[in-house]
Structure 1
Amino acid sequence: MRKSEDQVIRTIGDRLEELARLAPDRLALVCGEDQLSRAAFAAAVARRAAVLARQTPQGAGIALAMGNSPALVAAFFACAVSDRQALVYDPAWPAGYRAAVDAALSPALTLADETPPQDVLPHPALSPPHPDAPFYVGFTSGSTGLPKGYRRGHRSWIDSFAVSEQAFGLTADDVILAPGGLSASLHLYGVVHALHIGAAAVMLRLFHPQRALEVIARHGVTALYATPTQLQMLARAAAEQGVALPSVRLILISGAKWRPQTRAAVAAAFPHAGIAEFYGASETSFISLTRPGEAVPPGSVGRAAPGVDLVIRDAAGRDLPPGTTGTIWVASAMLFDGYACGGGEETRREHGYLTIGDHGRLDAGGYLTLAGREKRMLVTSGLNVYPEEIEAVLVSAPGIAEAAVFGLPDPLRGVELVAVLRGPGAGDHAGLRAHCRRLLPAGKLPRRFVVLDDWPRTASGKVDLLALEARIAAGGAAGRGQMLQRS
C-alpha cells in the first residue's frame, strides 16, 4: 500500500531534489535581483550540505551570521538535510550579543558571507535526519543581554506546515512573500515552508515598502506574510503611489494585534486579499488563528489552531471557566524542544502543556483574547521586547540613577517605547540615544524620554511601576518632568 505524502515527508527539505526533478526550471527563490530555479536551489543546498558533512560532526550547530540572501536560505536547508542545526544569528546584533551567544552555544562553524562553496570533491552520502532531531535554533529577546535561543525539531515545523496548508490553503501554486529579516521566525518560516512544498519563495535583502510593492507586482505574489507594522507601511506606500496589487489573495498577519482601523487602506492596496491572523510564539508555533472572512469578537486573536489544545489556568494550575483571565497553556505537536541558551521562569511545561507566560481569556465560543504578558514583555513592530533589558542599558549610561521603560499605544508600531529617567545625566538625550545604539538593536531603542525626579514608590521603597506608568500615560508627570521626542 502506498504511503500518503504526509506519512513520507517528515523532515525539512527532504523534497528539494524530487521537486527539482519534477520541474527543474520552475522558479524557487527570489531575493532582490537574484532568482534561483528549483534545480539551481537544490544544487546549492546539496553543495553546502556536502561541505558541512565533511567539516562538522552530525548534529553540530552551524552559526549563520549572514543577512537576507539566497546563500542564507541554502545554508539553512543544508543544515536541515545534513542533520546539523542552523543557528540563525541576527546580523544587526551588537557585538556583545554576538559574543554572548557564541560563548553559550560554541558553534562548530560560522558562515558569515555569501560566497558559495567551491566544492569539487565527491559528495558524501548523507544519512537522513530523524524527524525528532533538532534542526534550527532561533533567537528571541530575553530579559538579560543574552537572547533566548529556542531549539526546534523537524517534526514541529512539519506539523506547523500542515496547519498552514489546512487553515490557509497554501499550495505549491502560490508565490509567497516574506519581506522581513530571516532572523525573525515569522519570515524564515514563510520562506522555508514555501520552498519545502514547492511554492515560489520571495524575500527582500532589506525591508522597504516601495521595494516590496514592486516585487509583489513583478512576481505576481499571491500570499504575503507581514507584521501589522509592515502591513500598515505597505498600505500607506500603495496609497501614496496610487497603486493596487490584485495578485495577492491572502495576507497572513502575526507579531501583534492587527489594528482594524487600517482595513480600508489595506483593502484598497490589496483588493482581492483575505486576511488571516494568527497568534503564537517562537516556542509554540500556532496557538490561535482567524481565517479570512471569519467573524471574530473585537480584540480576539481567534480560536485554537488545528491540533492545538488551549486552556486558561490560574496560578494553582486549575482550569478556569470562560470569561476568566489567567495563564494561557497549550498542548500540540508543534512545541519547541527547549532553550539552547537564555530562557526564563515564565516558560514552563506541565503534563504535556506549555506556557510562555502570556495571559488571556477564552469566551464560550472558544475565542481567545490576550490580556497581557508576564515579566512586562512588550511587542513593538512585531519584536518582543523586555523593558528590563533596556533599563539595564540606560542605567549603565553616565549620570543615570534609575530608568523604567514602558510601552504606550502607537498607531504604527503597536507600542512605542518610552523611557523614564532620573539622575544628572537624564537630560542628555542625544548621548543616551548614542549609548543605546551601541548596545541595543534598533527595534529596542526608546522613542521618547521622560526626565522625572519624583518617582512614586511602594511602602518598601521600591519603584511603583504601575503608578509610574499611569502617570506617564496620563502625561501628568509630577516634579521636574520633561518629554523629549526621539528624532
Structure 2
Amino acid sequence: MRLWNLTYEPLDRACRYYRKKVAIIDGDRQLTYSELGEFTNRVANGLIALGVRPGEVIGMLMPNCLEFIPTQHGLWKAGAVMVQMPARASAGDQIHFLNSADATTLIYHAEFDDVVEQLRKQCPAVRRYIRLAPTATPSADIDYAAAFDAQSAQAPRVPVRPEDLASIAFTSGSTGAPKAVRNSHESTVHMHIPAGSEIGDVRAGEVFALGAPLTHFAQIFVLPTFLKGGTVVMLHGLDVDLIFDAVERYRVTATALVPTVLYMMLAHPRRNSVDLSSLRTIVYAGSPMAPDRLREAVTAFGQVFSQTYAGTEPTFMTCLTKEDHDISNPATAHRLGSAGRAMSHVTLSVQDEQDNILASGEIGEICSRQAGQMVGYVDSTRDHETIRDGWVHTGDIGYIDDDGYVFIVDRKKDMVVTGGFNVFPRQIEDVLLQHPAVAQCAVIGVPDEKWGEAVKAIVVQAATQSATADELIALVKEHKGSVWAPKTVKFVDSLPLTTTGKIDKKNLKAPYWADQDRLVH
C-alpha cells in the first residue's frame, strides 16, 4: 500500500529541505525544522504505543504554544482525527465538542486543569487524558513528556488515505448551537496550502506571528510558511503590547488578526512609536471591518492588509488583496466594502431561495464550491441543509459585482424583519462606525408589539469621544432612512465574543427573546 498523506507530507518535505533553520519560536524556546520533524514522529509513535488506532478521535485543548504543531501533525501521522477545541470556549462547549465527535482521548495543557475537571464528569467516552505541563506537577493523567519524549523519531508506517477523516471542527455558534463539521486530509490540505499562500502572500523566509488562535483561521498560514522555509512565532493571546513586542524583537513580516484587535492597535498609545517597519502583511478575518475603519488602518500601518471571507463549512473563499486596499484610487475605493474576489481554487455563486443562480449584482445567498470545503456534518442527516448540488450554502446574503468582488449584505439569520421590511444589521453597523465616538457596535432585532421586531443598536463608545442615542439614531436615519434607524441604543463597556472573535449576537439577543415562543430572525 502506498504510504501517502496529503496533510503531513508537506511538513516532512519542509523538515528535509530546511533542517537547520528555525521553524517555531515560542518565547525563549524554539525548534529547528529537523527537531520539528523528529518531535512530530515521536508524538505519532507515542500515541500508537498508548493504543490509539487509525480513525480514533483526539481532542486538543491547547493554547498557541510550541507543542501545538508537532502534536497536531503527530496525531495525523498516527491516523487519528483531531477535534478542534477553541481555548476560549466554555466548559459546556468543550463537553459538546468532545461528545459530539465521540473523542476517546484528550491532549490538554495544564492551564486548562479546571476545565478538564468538568469534562471528566460529562465525557464518558474519553478514556485517555494526556497532560502537558511546563513543569513537573503531580497528576493522575498521562504525562505529555513521558508519553512522547522517549519514542522513536522515525516516521511510523501508518497508511492514511486522502479521503480519510483528518479533523472535526465546529461552527462558531454565533446564531445557533455549534455544528460538528468533518474534514478529510484532502480537503484540509486544499484549505491550508492554496488558501494560506494566497491570502497570506507568503514569501521565502517569512516570519509569521500567530496571535489569532491556531484552532481558528491562523492555522492555514503554518504549512505555507514552512514550505517557504519561514518561521512561525507563537503569540500567547491577542494582547496588543505582546504583538508589538514580537514584531520588534523577531522582525515579524506577517501576522493574522481579528478586526477587534486591529481596532485596539489603532487606539493603542504605542501605535506611533513602535517599529513596525518589518511588517508587510496583516491578514484580518473572522468578521468584517467597516470601510472607514479600514481606511484609518491603512493610513496608520500602510497598504499591508489582506482580507479573507470564510466559514467553517465552505472554508476560505475570497481574498481582498493588498492591491485592493489602495485608498488613493477613488475609482476602486468602494472595494474596501467588499470581501474580495474568489480565490483561484474556488467557484462562487449567488442563489435564490429555490437554489437558482442569480446574475451579477442580484442579492441572494452566497454559495461556494471547492476542493477544500467540508466533507459533511458528523450528523449526516443535516448535510442537505448546507450542501446541495455540490454547492455549500453559507447562510450569508450578498451579491457579486461585474468585476467579481463579493459584497456581503449580512448573515441570513441576522436579518431583522421590522414592519414587513427586511433590514440588514451589518449595513447599519457600518454607518454607526463612521461616528468617531463608536468604537464597536452590534445591531440586533428585539421583540416589538407594533413592528414585530425593532432595530436595536448596542454600542461601545471610544475612550475619548461620546455620543447620545438620538445622535446615533439620526445618523442612521440620514444614511439609510427611518426604517433602518434603531428604535433604541444601548451603551455598554464591551461586547461578548465567540471563541473565533466574532461578536456573539446569539448572546446579545438572548435576554430580549427569553420569554418569546420563537426567536424571530
Q: TM-score range by the shorter chain?
A: 0.7 to 0.9
Q: Deviations over 1:62-92 (max 9, x none)?
A: 0111222122222111122222111121233
> Which has the larger displacement, 274-283 or 188-197?
188-197
Are 1:370 and 2:366 counterparts?
no
Q: CA deviation at 1:146?
A: 4.4
Name the structure 1 match of 2:18: 23
User: What amino acid is the match of 1:253?
Assistant: Y
Q: CA deviation at 1:119?
A: 4.4
Are 1:219 and 2:256 counterparts?
no
Change (3 A) 1:346 1:239: farther
- Give me the whole-angstrom Cα distance separating, in 2, the residues matched to 1:377 and 1:152: 29
Candidates 62, 65, 69, aligned match of 1:69? 65
Change (3 A) 1:100 1:165: closer
Candidates 318, 330, 335, aligned match of 2:373? 335
Name the structure 2 match of 1:416: 442
- Give me the whole-angstrom Cα distance separating, in 1, the residues matched to 2:63 and 2:381: 25
User: What amino acid is the match of 2:320?
Assistant: T
Name the structure 1 match of 2:452: 464
- Give me the whole-angstrom Cα distance separating, in 2, the residues matched to 1:306 and 1:477: 40
What SS does the aligned partner of 1:97 have?
A: helix
User: What amino acid is the match of 1:340?
Assistant: V
User: 1:22-421, aligned counterparts within 5 Å?
Assistant: 22-54=17-49, 55-113=51-109, 114=132, 115-116=144-145, 117-122=147-152, 125-142=156-173, 146-160=177-191, 161-166=193-198, 169-184=201-216, 186-195=217-226, 197-237=228-268, 239-240=270-271, 242-263=273-294, 266-267=297-298, 270-271=301-302, 273-294=303-324, 295=332, 297-298=334-335, 299-340=337-378, 347-376=385-414, 409=429, 411=433, 415-416=441-442
Q: CA deviation at 1:414?
A: 5.5
Change (3 A) 1:95 1:342: farther
- Give me the whole-angstrom Cα distance separating, in 2, the residues matched to 1:373 and 1:266: 25
User: What amino acid is the match of 1:323?
Assistant: G
Q: CA deviation at 1:355?
A: 0.6
Name the structure 2 match of 1:4: none
**Contact 1:209–1:233 under 8 Å retained in 2:** yes
- Give me the whole-angstrom Cα distance separating, in 1, the residues matched to 2:58 and 2:457: 45
**Contact 1:296–1:302 under 8 Å retained in 2:** no
What SS does the aligned partner of 2:197 have?
A: helix
What SS does the aligned partner of 1:180 have?
A: coil
**Contact 2:206–2:230 under 8 Å retained in 1:** yes
Q: CA deviation at 1:164?
A: 3.5
**Contact 2:41–2:156 under 8 Å retained in 1:** no
User: What amino acid is the match of 1:464?
Assistant: G
User: What amino acid is the match of 1:61?
Assistant: V
- Give me the whole-angstrom Cα distance separating, in 2, the residues matched to 1:208 and 1:79: 30
Q: Deviations over 1:410-451 (max 9, x none)?
A: 74876437796xxxxxxxxxxxxxxxxxxxxxxxxxxxxxxx
- Give me the whole-angstrom Cα distance separating, in 2, the residues matched to 1:250 and 1:416: 28
Which consecutive residues of structure 2, in runs of 5 or more, have no partner in the other structure? 110-131, 133-143, 325-331, 417-424, 459-468, 475-484, 495-521
- Give me the whole-angstrom Cα distance separating, in 1, the residues matched to 2:42 and 2:66: 13
User: What amino acid is the match of 1:208?
Assistant: D
- Give me the whole-angstrom Cα distance separating, in 2, the residues matched to 1:310 and 1:52: 40
Name the structure 2 match of 1:485: 492
Change (3 A) 1:69 1:147: same
Q: CA deviation at 1:279?
A: 1.2
Q: CA deviation at 1:52?
A: 1.7
**Contact 2:169–2:182 under 8 Å retained in 1:** yes
- Give me the whole-angstrom Cα distance separating, in 2, the residues matched to 1:281 and 1:128: 30
What SS does the aligned partner of 2:67 have?
A: helix
| Equivalent pairs, count | 410
Over the aligned positions, Cα root-mean-square deviation in angstroms equals 3.4
Q: CA deviation at 1:343?
A: 9.8
Name the structure 2 match of 1:423: none
- Give me the whole-angstrom Cα distance separating, in 2, the residues matched to 1:130 and 1:89: 24
Using the size of structure 2 for normalisation, the TM-score is: 0.70
Which consecutive residues of structure 1, in runs of 5 or more, have no partner in the other structure? 1-7, 379-405, 421-454
Q: CA deviation at 1:172?
A: 4.0
**Contact 1:45–1:74 under 8 Å retained in 2:** yes
Name the structure 1 match of 2:128: none
What SS does the aligned partner of 2:180 have?
A: strand
Using the size of structure 1 for normalisation, the TM-score is: 0.74
Q: Deviations over 1:379-425 (max 9, x none)?
A: xxxxxxxxxxxxxxxxxxxxxxxxxxx887374876437796xxxxx
- Give me the whole-angstrom Cα distance separating, in 1, the residues matched to 2:441 and 2:489: 20
Change (3 A) 1:145 1:371: closer
**Contact 1:223–1:250 under 8 Å retained in 2:** yes
Q: CA deviation at 1:484?
A: 6.2
Q: CA deviation at 1:12?
A: 1.8
Change (3 A) 1:313 1:23: closer
